[in-house]
Structure 1
Amino acid sequence: MTKRAGIFGIVSILGLFALLHIGFANDEISPRALGATLVGGIAFLLMATSIFLATRPSVLEDAFGGLDRMYQVHKTCGVIATILVLVHFFASPKEIPEGIVATADVTFPSSPLGMAGMILLVVLVIVTLNRKIAYHRWRMPHKLMGVVFVLIVAHFMTAPEFFFDRFGPSGLLLILAGIVGILSYGYSMFGMNRASAKTYVIDAVNKMERATEVVLSPIGDALQFKPGQFAFVEVKGDGFSEPHPFTISSAPDEDKLRFTIKVLGDWTRKVREELTPGLEVDVRGPYGRFDTSHADNKQVWIAGGIGVTPFLSTIRGLKDGDDREIYLVYAVREGAEALFFDELREKLTMMPNMKLILLESNNGEFCKVEKIKEKLGTSMTSFDYFLCGPRVMTSSIIKDLKSEGVAANKIHTEAFEFR
């Protein structure tokens, strides 16, 4: 669940801009121009926010509920900014105010810069929202969002004074946002990977049913993480140039770092078929706040397919004396797809308060709340629920849990999508 603190922070900045923009408006600026620049300024601030969040600032994860939620906000800010940019364009006065000399260059270069930025922004957002475009083809054009932002900064800085007072209180706030956005873009492009990466070498590539386990050994300092967290993995080899996020499936105290990767597309298929021991890997993280240790003692963990990985890390890290009452509901199509099932069963057998429930859809056992309720045999409102799996499954379960009276703050999910 996205936490409100981060959203409140963004809204507060937008509200401050609106107050400064309206409260210190120049009397010579027309109401239409004032409204248009208000909308444009809010769009500008949302773009700067989106670019800043793309740097993955770990200090803000708690405010948003994890990096996965932060990326959701990053995407939402970009989409809203695009809509507001279009509103700004159509609302902006097209006539030059009386008393201004109507020379040919009175709005040059601001107008063409703004037009170029708007067109490129709309095109890139359409590309971003098209889920049919493969990740490796989407990633490079998405980097052009920084170029769009630079064009918008130039548009703003060259805007005619009769249209907007860039050195007024609200203008200075936008200048500050522009500086933050440009620095964030530069850091994302040229500094972030080197600053936060830890280097590993591949020990083993284990092919499993519809998944691949990659086992890594550290070169130098190892990554420190908590169960349920994830990291970005970038293989230093031909054809593996792009980083991908994966949940860590090893326990925090293991010498090795493990990722269990489902075969979904070209990159994950290449991992399975071409990755070999000895290659170096950059790992950046950890990220995420999918932490079962902060919930009440009665918990239900619901895993759909590869969604078992954060729970796998947690179970591998369980210590004697853990007195939580935990039900792990593991939903798969058939038993052969239940990754590490024997290991999970053996580990949970040693923990008297923990139970493993396997649901096989091919046998008619679908992961539904009514089925979970039947397995629990008690009131559902007394448990905390942790869900990780396909969105269609988790969305349906969340809806039904709320219908059963389970409070929203007792339902925890991981929004493992980054575009």
Structure 2
Amino acid sequence: MKRIKLSLLGVLALLSLLWWQADPLVLEGDRFFALRGVLVNYTGVLGMGVMSVAMLLALRPVMLEPLLGGLDKVYRVHKWLGIAGLALAVVHWLWAKGTKYAVGWGWLERPPRGPRAEQTVEIFRFFQEQRGLAESIGEWAFYAFVVLAAIALIKRFPYRRFLQSHRLMALVYLALVAHSVMLLPFGYWTTPLGALMGVLMAVGTYAALKSLFRGIGRSRRKVGEIEHLVRHADNGVLEVGVRLKGPWPGHHAGQFAFVSFDPQEGAHPFTIASAWRGDGRLNFMIKGIGDYTRTLPQTLKAGDRVEVEGPYGRFDFAGEESRQIWVAGGVGITPFIARLQALASDPAPKAVDLFYSTSAPDEGFIARLRELAGKAKVKLHVLVSGRDGRLDTEAICHRVPDWKAGRVWFCGPAGFGQALREGFAAKGFGEERFHQELFDMR
């Protein structure tokens, strides 16, 4: 969590610092309108800066995973940059358009405006002539941005509609690039801020075009077919075995992939529930918790084509401590199954306790889990919430007396994870020793 906050603050701080260096902040004439001009420029720079970085992160850059702790964290930074961009865009619009409306309604009186300085650079003269067009493009792009952002943030919109509408964000971004290039104060372009904004908008434009042409992640996609299906009726989990036809780079336990069973629906992220054996086989365990995933047991069959993109993620069970505590809530058991399979053939010297909390126990599934844990030499604790109550920090510490010597790896519902994180933090357990998948891609 700390990395996410620092990343967002770092982007805002860098842009603010360079803007402060580039803008003389001279408030001449009417103070209100002079301040308005300064704030329009500042919010515009910040807004385009954070949106450009968000576009870059949409490319799923694997090289940034070690810095942020996995693609799930990269997407969380992407989300908060988008929210910051939306907030800045609203403030920018209020200063740019709201003031004009106030003048039109007679609430404010605009001071007399002198002639604009004549531009000697041809490209800047052209931009100056297109100022009205640039303002119109920015205004309508802003309205579209607000609508698309609302669809992305309101979870009641189906995931499929979110994917379809979110791709249009690339068109909005390209319109905002045109708006910004023409309206950015000409003096900025000769400063470090201008150089940075030029690079950011160029990279963002590349990312937008790649998104429009569905090129994001293309080099990491492999085609395969469903080899087997196992339905665990009691816990509502569908186990999908896939055999890839192309070379797979291999994966570590805890990583995930974007899986597409239906091109019209698009790809969904699922944790890989199997250790890599070099044979092209992957297993996924899918809980029917959404409109789409609930239909999969009826629509999927052996032999169906599937497209897999990945692997991604840094839920890698690394750490020098001699003990690890794994906590799984419901279908969050998936990455731990993959790790158990890996340890079954190569047990780790660490002492490991696995807590599996479920509200819908499936006896056949749990029997397989116990067998696998036995082979991996992992101590398994199965807790049924309706029978054993809610698993919390106190219960874990009671069952693992030397918990202070370990790390916690959690995968499951966000609220459950947050409660455990806060519980361990209250006991002085460092945040860097609590690992949690942020498995929410919107």
Q: Quick check: TM above 0.5?
A: yes
Q: 8 Å contact 2:167–2:211 — kept in the other structure?
A: no
Q: 8 Å contact 2:333–2:411 — kept in the other structure?
A: yes
Give 1:301's match in structure 2, choosing from 321, 326, 351.
Answer: 326
Distance in 1 (CA, whole Å) between partners of 2:428 and 2:14 is 38
Letter in 2 for 1:168: T
Distance in 1 (CA, whole Å) between partners of 2:360 and 2:11 is 50
- When the two chains are superposed, the root-mean-square deviation of aligned CA atoms in Å is 2.5
Which of the two has greater helix per residue? 2
Residue number in structure 2 paired with 1:356: 380
C-alpha distance after superposition, 1:257-305 (max 9, x if no partner): 1001001122212321111222221111111111113352201100001
| 1:351 Cα offset (Å) | 4.4
Letter in 1 for 2:92: H
Structure 2 residue runs of 5 or longer lacking an equivalent are: 28-33, 101-109, 117-128
Letter in 2 for 1:381: K
Residue number in structure 1 paired with 2:287: 262
1:44 matched to 2:67: no
Letter in 1 for 2:3: K
Structure 1 residue runs of 5 or longer lacking an equivalent are: none
TM-score, normalised by the number of residues in structure 2 = 0.86
Distance in 1 (CA, whole Å) between partners of 2:35 and 2:224 is 59
Q: 8 Å contact 1:2–1:64 — kept in the other structure?
A: no
Give 2:393's match in structure 1, choosing from 365, 369, 383.
Answer: 369
How many residues matched?
409
> Judging changes above 3 Å, is the alpha-carbon distance between structure 1 residues 27 and 228 closer, same or farther for their aligned structure 2 residues?
closer
Residue range with higher mean Cα deviation, 247-256 or 382-391:
247-256
Paired residues for 1:14-413 under 5 Å: 14-25=12-23, 30-92=34-96, 94=100, 95=110, 98-100=113-115, 107-159=131-183, 165=187, 167-169=189-191, 170-190=193-213, 191-209=215-233, 210-235=236-261, 237=262, 240-253=264-277, 255=279, 256-318=281-343, 319-336=345-362, 340-352=365-377, 354-376=378-400, 378-413=401-436
Residue range with higher mean Cα deviation, 216-225 or 46-55:
216-225
Q: 8 Å contact 2:228–2:240 — kept in the other structure?
A: yes
C-alpha distance after superposition, 1:197-256 (max 9, x if no partner): 111111112211301111111212124110000000012x5x654000000001112632
Letter in 2 for 1:179: A
Q: 8 Å contact 1:109–1:158 — kept in the other structure?
A: no
Distance in 2 (CA, whole Å) between partners of 1:392 and 1:21 is 39
Letter in 1 for 2:23: A
SS at match of 1:259: strand
| 1:100 Cα offset (Å) | 2.2
Residue range with higher mean Cα deviation, 266-275 or 53-62:
266-275
Letter in 2 for 1:21: W
Q: 8 Å contact 2:25–2:38 — kept in the other structure?
A: no
Letter in 2 for 1:281: V
> Judging changes above 3 Å, is the alpha-carbon distance between structure 1 residues 215 and 223 closer, same or farther for their aligned structure 2 residues?
farther
Q: 8 Å contact 1:198–1:223 — kept in the other structure?
A: no
TM-score, normalised by the number of residues in structure 1 = 0.90
> Judging changes above 3 Å, is the alpha-carbon distance between structure 1 residues 26 and 362 closer, same or farther for their aligned structure 2 residues?
closer
Q: 8 Å contact 1:234–1:240 — kept in the other structure?
A: no
Q: 8 Å contact 1:227–1:313 — kept in the other structure?
A: yes
C-alpha distance after superposition, 1:321-379 (max 9, x if no partner): 4221110000011432x673222211322344x21001011113321122222222x14
Distance in 2 (CA, whole Å) between partners of 1:146 and 1:226 is 32
Distance in 1 (CA, whole Å) between partners of 2:216 and 2:367 is 40
SS at match of 1:108: helix
SS at match of 1:207: strand
Distance in 2 (CA, whole Å) between partners of 1:28 and 1:405 is 49
Distance in 1 (CA, whole Å) between partners of 2:383 and 2:74 is 32
Q: 8 Å contact 2:340–2:376 — kept in the other structure?
A: no
Q: 8 Å contact 1:37–1:164 — kept in the other structure?
A: no
Q: 8 Å contact 2:328–2:355 — kept in the other structure?
A: yes
Letter in 1 for 2:314: R
Residue number in structure 1 paired with 2:126: none
Q: 8 Å contact 1:369–1:401 — kept in the other structure?
A: yes
| 1:157 Cα offset (Å) | 2.3
> Judging changes above 3 Å, is the alpha-carbon distance between structure 1 residues 88 and 275 closer, same or farther for their aligned structure 2 residues?
same
C-alpha distance after superposition, 1:363-405 (max 9, x if no partner): 13321122222222x1432221111111121111111111222
Q: 8 Å contact 2:409–2:434 — kept in the other structure?
A: yes
SS at match of 1:185: helix
> Judging changes above 3 Å, is the alpha-carbon distance between structure 1 residues 297 and 243 closer, same or farther for their aligned structure 2 residues?
same
